[in-house]
Chain A
Amino acid sequence: MTGELGQLALCFALALSLVMANAGILGARDINATARRIANGAAMGMTVFILLAFGALTYAYLTSDFSLRAVANYSSTAQPLIYKVSAVWSNHEGSMLLWMLVMALYTGAIALAGRGGERLTSAALGVMGLLAAAFLLFILFTSSPFLRFDPAPFEGAGLNPLLQDPGAAVHPPMLYFGYVGLSASFAYAAAALIVGRPESENWARAARPFMLVAWMALTCGIALGSWWAYYTLGWGGFWFWDAVENASLMPWLVATALLHSALATETRGAFRAWTLLLAILAFSLSLIGTFLVRSGLTTSVHSFASDPTRGFFILVLIALAVGGALALFAWRAPTLKGGAAFEPVSRETALLLNNVFLVAACATVFIGTLYPMALDALTGQKITVGPPFFAVTFAPIFFALLALVPLGPRLSWRKGDLKEAIKPLYPALGVAALAAVVVLAVASPRSLAGAGAFAMAGWLLVSSVIEIRKRRGARTAAFAAAIAHAGLAVSLLGIAGTTVWRSEALVLVGPGEKLTVGPYTLRFDGVTDVDGPNYRGARATIDLMDGDAVKAVMHPEQRIYSAEGQDVSVTAIRTTGLRDLYLALGDDRGQGRWTLRAYVSPLAPLIWLGALVMALGGALSLAGRLRARAPEPKSAPAVALAAE
């Protein structure tokens, strides 16, 4: 019954999304007030039906209704409750419904907030309606989670054990809030092109909260994915430059560029066309990311579902969405009046440079990810584009961007003064130089790259502190930006520490034997068998020694999930907040001896802490926006900004 209810709800949602698409776009014309009301109603209705469908599916998972194929294939009665819930989106069908749910929530938010005026909102709802209809068709015709399974099995196949983990459970919703959030700014951008001036002037301001939410969610989602890979995959790495990670990094890079460019657009009317294009690009990359993960075109440690026919459908969907938006852009963008005047040294130029580097960084990831696939398809030659490639291409481009970060916020709009901007930052330059010298003198092994990274982090961090002290209580946006920029520095420290100064040991240990890794001495006490709710495992006991005394006990595990027949290594991590001791149990080599991987990763926790700080910056900015209730530009008096 729940299955049919869900399927029916999806059908109603499809009908309403089509109504919303038509009425919304008609409502872009001034006289069609009725169409605007219909679009609003349809948006709310669609949101309700998608919620209903998602609720029905969740209920089926909670009650282990194995007469649904998706439930039987990805869940089992032995699974703990939280993983019955996360199993909903752990597979292709359910994750598409989650995608749709998030899109419905954003649609409802656009309709309720009505930012940027009635006509702009209506056109944005129209575009969301088109997107929602496309995805609902995709779900109903290729990936319905409500398909029946006859006869229903007594027990389900169970969730992939790698995904039976809190990180893996919240990672997809977080990422989808990012990906799909970019559809809202995409919808506003397309709406601006449809509605035309003067309402279109407003779009960047109207869409900003959605951009911020999407960006924050992407930041957290990427960090969560990286953290999950770090503690589950068992080799101490946090970023592998694999296709799925790259697929989430690309929209993040463009969304970051968009946030900066949109600032110049809404404040100064600069880069109007470019900001529209970035909004289109950001969502296009989200779609391409989804396509990459699902098409089976690429192998990855993260991907869990792939099917070429669905890939084809998504390819058509991308072609229509991206092609349509770009065609609209080519047709309507020339009507936008050209930009504002500014001097070569100004905030505008700084934001433009930010975009240059971010777009180049994104292009690097794009090329590095797709080149091997293209080469394989064209010539049959297989190559690998791995971390060393990105270390010499992406890293220097991003590093150059970081060097400029502290200067941007200090330059005035229209005409800035570089000398005046740098002067208050002299302490930051001093700290940077000091950091480089100290790292070169003290850290072993000596690393120029490491010293450079620490100098850069010092420059960013101290500049941010100077900025925060100056802005305290005054301008929320600048304060929020300084926090977000400080987050970059924190992450950079973690990345440098882990990459350059990680120590590792891959050993064969027997009971009672000791090993040393970095500053730690460990004693292996042997392995015992454990029985979990839905797995059997081998659990090692390893003492962290302080002289002859035992300081702490760690338990890395190897698990075999019986329903799924898969081995999973459960790492043991002990962190001081500034340094991780990381243990992963390997194979049984007989006579009580096991292989064991031990890593000491200095500063590792900072990688993810930095991402949180960045997201906090985004949240502060969002809070400032919502509190201020951005004034409608027609009635708003121009606020003259005294150049600081």
Chain B
Amino acid sequence: MTKAFWSKPLLLALLLVTNTAMAAPAPDAFSDPALEARAHALQRQLRCPVCKGQSIDESGADLATDLRHRVHELIGQGRSDAEIREYFRARYGDFILMQPPLEAVTWLLWLAPFLVLGGAGAVAWTVVSRAKNARESNDSAEIADF
């Protein structure tokens, strides 16, 4: 894996020229903020394979650093976000995608929250329409302040 986009001699020369040199962007940063923002967004969508649930954007692990470099390389080659995600998915499997892809085994996962919401809503609807017609039982007739 190629490590860096900057070269050491150049940086040292810069350091000599002026002692208020700006820090080098991390070895894998774009000078264009839009591209860099895109890289960060992508990195957040990729899980660090050797960490406990961190994305490669957040992790300090060596592998995560390498993968960040790879993201930058691929962006540099002009690949689209979808292509880059597919690139990593082909190599590391679905596990590396922070957002599980919609496929045969995950549609239930994606649908379930809204099924529960709908189900609970339907139950609430029945409860409310029944409560409207319910006769007050004696001991709940008192309306106490809480």
A positions within 8 Å CB-CB of B: 198, 201, 233-235, 237, 240, 242-243, 263, 266-271, 299-301, 337-344, 348-349, 352-353, 355-357, 359-360, 363-364, 367-368, 371-372, 375, 379, 381-389, 393-394, 397, 413-414, 475, 477, 504-510, 512-516, 523-524, 569, 586-587, 595-596, 636, 638-641
Q: Which chain A residue shows the least CB distance to B4?
A: A508
| Neighbouring B residues of A586 by C-beta, 8 Å | 60
Contacts of A515 in B (CB 8 A): 22-23
Residues of B in contact (CB 8 Å), total: 63
Most chain-A Cβ atoms within 10 A of its Cβ — which of B29, B100, B139? B100
CB-CB under 8 A from A201, the residues of chain B are 139
Give bound CA distance, A149 to B111, whole Å: 52
Decide if A342 touches B146 in the complex (CB within 8 Å). no
The residues of B that contact A360 with a CB separation of less than 8 Å are 113, 116-117, 120
B143 contact set on A, CB distance < 8 A: 267-268, 413-414, 638-641
Closest residue on chain B to residue A512 by CB atoms: B19
CB-CB < 8 A to B117: which residues of A? 356-357, 360, 397
User: A232 to chain B: closest CB distance in Å?
Assistant: 12
Residues of the B chain whose Cβ atoms lie less than 8 Å from the Cβ of A523: 20
B82-103 interface code vs A (CB 8 A; 1 in, 0 out):
0000000000011111111000
Choose one: B23, B57, B106, B112; the contact of A513 (CB below 8 Å): B23
Instruction: Say yes or no: A384 contacts B22, CB within 8 Å.
Output: no
Asked whether, in the complex, the Cβ of B109 is within 8 Å of the Cβ of A371, the reply is yes
Residues of A near B52 (CB, < 8 A) are: 242, 299-301
Known A-B contacts A300-B53, A477-B146; A367 and B120 likewise in contact (beta carbons under 8 Å): no
- Tell me whether A384 and B24 are in contact (CB under 8 A): no
Interface string of B59-94 (1 = CB under 8 A from A): 110000000000000000000000000000000011
> CB distance B53 to A240 under 8 Å?
yes
> Among B54, B57, B100, B123, which residue has its beta carbon within 8 angstroms of that of A383?
B100
14 A-B interface contacts by CB (under 8 A):
A340-B131, A353-B124, A364-B112, A371-B109, A383-B100, A388-B98, A389-B99, A389-B109, A393-B113, A506-B25, A508-B25, A510-B23, A595-B26, A641-B143
Q: How far is it, in angstroms, between the C-alpha of A344 and the C-alpha of B134 when the chains are bound?
A: 12
Q: Does B140 contact A (CB under 8 A)?
A: yes
Among candidates A301, A385, A510, residue contacting B54 with C-beta atoms closer than 8 Å: A301
Name the distance in Å between A334's Cβ and chain B's nearest Cβ. 15
Q: Which residues of B contact A (CB under 8 A)?
A: 15, 19-27, 29, 40, 44-45, 47, 52-55, 57-60, 93-100, 105-106, 108-110, 112-114, 116-117, 120-121, 123-124, 127-129, 131-137, 139-146
The distance in angstroms between the C-alpha atoms of A271 and B124, with both chains bound, is: 11
Structural contact, A367 and B112, CB atoms closer than 8 A: yes
Give the distance in Å from the alpha carbon of A299 to the alpha carbon of B95 in the complex.
13
Q: Are B135 and A510 in contact (CB under 8 A)?
A: no
Which residue of A508, A512, A587 contacts B24 across the interface (Cβ within 8 Å)? A508
* Chain B residues with CB below 8 A from A235, complex form: 54, 57-60
Among residues of A, the one whose C-beta sits closest to the C-beta of B59 is: A235
Task: Write the nearest CB–CB distance from B103 to chain A, whole angstroms.
Answer: 9
The answer to whether B132 and A299 have CB atoms under 8 Å apart is no
Q: Are A388 and B124 in contact (CB under 8 A)?
A: no
Contact A508 B105 (CB under 8 A): no
Contacting residue for A638 out of B25, B112, B134, B144, CB 8 A: B144
| Contact A359–B105 (Cβ < 8 Å) | no
B84 smallest CB distance to A (angstroms)? 15
Contact across chains for B93 and A382 when beta carbons are under 8 A apart: yes
Cβ A383 vs Cβ B94 within 8 A: yes
Docked Cα-Cα span, A641 to B96, in Å, equals 57
Inter-subunit contact A338/B21 (CB<8 Å): no
Cβ of B116: which chain A residues have Cβ within 8 Å of it?
Answer: 359-360, 363-364, 367
Distance of A513 Cα from B15 Cα, bound (Å) = 8
- 16 further contact pairs, Cβ within 8 A, besides A263-B146, A338-B137, A357-B117: A267-B146, A270-B131, A271-B127, A340-B137, A352-B127, A356-B124, A382-B95, A386-B45, A386-B99, A388-B98, A508-B24, A510-B21, A514-B20, A514-B23, A523-B20, A639-B142
Cβ of B29: which chain A residues have Cβ within 8 Å of it? Answer: 506-507
Separation in Å of the B132 CB from the closest CB of chain A? 6
- Contact B98 A387, beta carbon cutoff 8 Å: yes
Which residues of chain A come closer than 8 Å to B93, judged between CB atoms?
382
Instruction: Flag if A394 contacts B113 (CB, 8 Å).
Output: yes
Which listed residue (B97, B137, B139) contacts A384, Cβ 8 A? B97
Q: Is the CB of A338 within 8 A of B134?
A: yes
**CB-CB under 8 A for A641 and B145, given A341-B131, A513-B21:** yes
* Smallest beta-carbon distance B23→chain A, Å: 4
Considering the complex, give the chain A residue whose CB is closest to the CB of B127. A352
Contact A513 B22 (CB under 8 A): yes
Q: Cβ of B45: which chain A residues have Cβ within 8 Å of it?
A: 386, 388
Most chain A beta carbons < 10 A, residue from B57, B113, B134, B135: B113
Asked if residues A386 and B55 are in contact (CB atoms below 8 Å), the reply is yes
CA distance A299 to B53 in the complex (A): 7
Shortest A228–chain B CB gap in Å is: 15
Cα(A392)–Cα(B38), bound, Å: 20
Task: Name the residue on A nearest B55 (C-beta).
Answer: A386
Residues of A within 8 A of B21 (CB): 510, 512-514
Asked if A475 and B27 sit within 8 Å, CB to CB, the answer is no
Docked-complex contact A504 and B40, CB < 8 angstroms = yes
Q: In the docked arrangement, what's the CA distance between A355 and B143, Å?
A: 21
Pairwise interchain contact B131-A397, C-beta atoms closer than 8 A: no
Contact partner, B145, options A348, A356, A383, A639, Cβ 8 Å? A639
Most buried by B among A271, A355, A363: A363
Complex contact A508–B53 (CB within 8 A)? no
- Which chain B positions have C-beta within 8 A of A514? 20-23
Q: Are A359 and B120 within 8 A (Cβ)?
A: yes
- Is the beta-carbon distance between A383 and B106 smaller than 8 angstroms? yes
Closest to B28 in A: A506
Cβ-defined contact, A507 with B105, below 8 A:
no
Complex: A216 Cα to B110 Cα, angstroms: 32
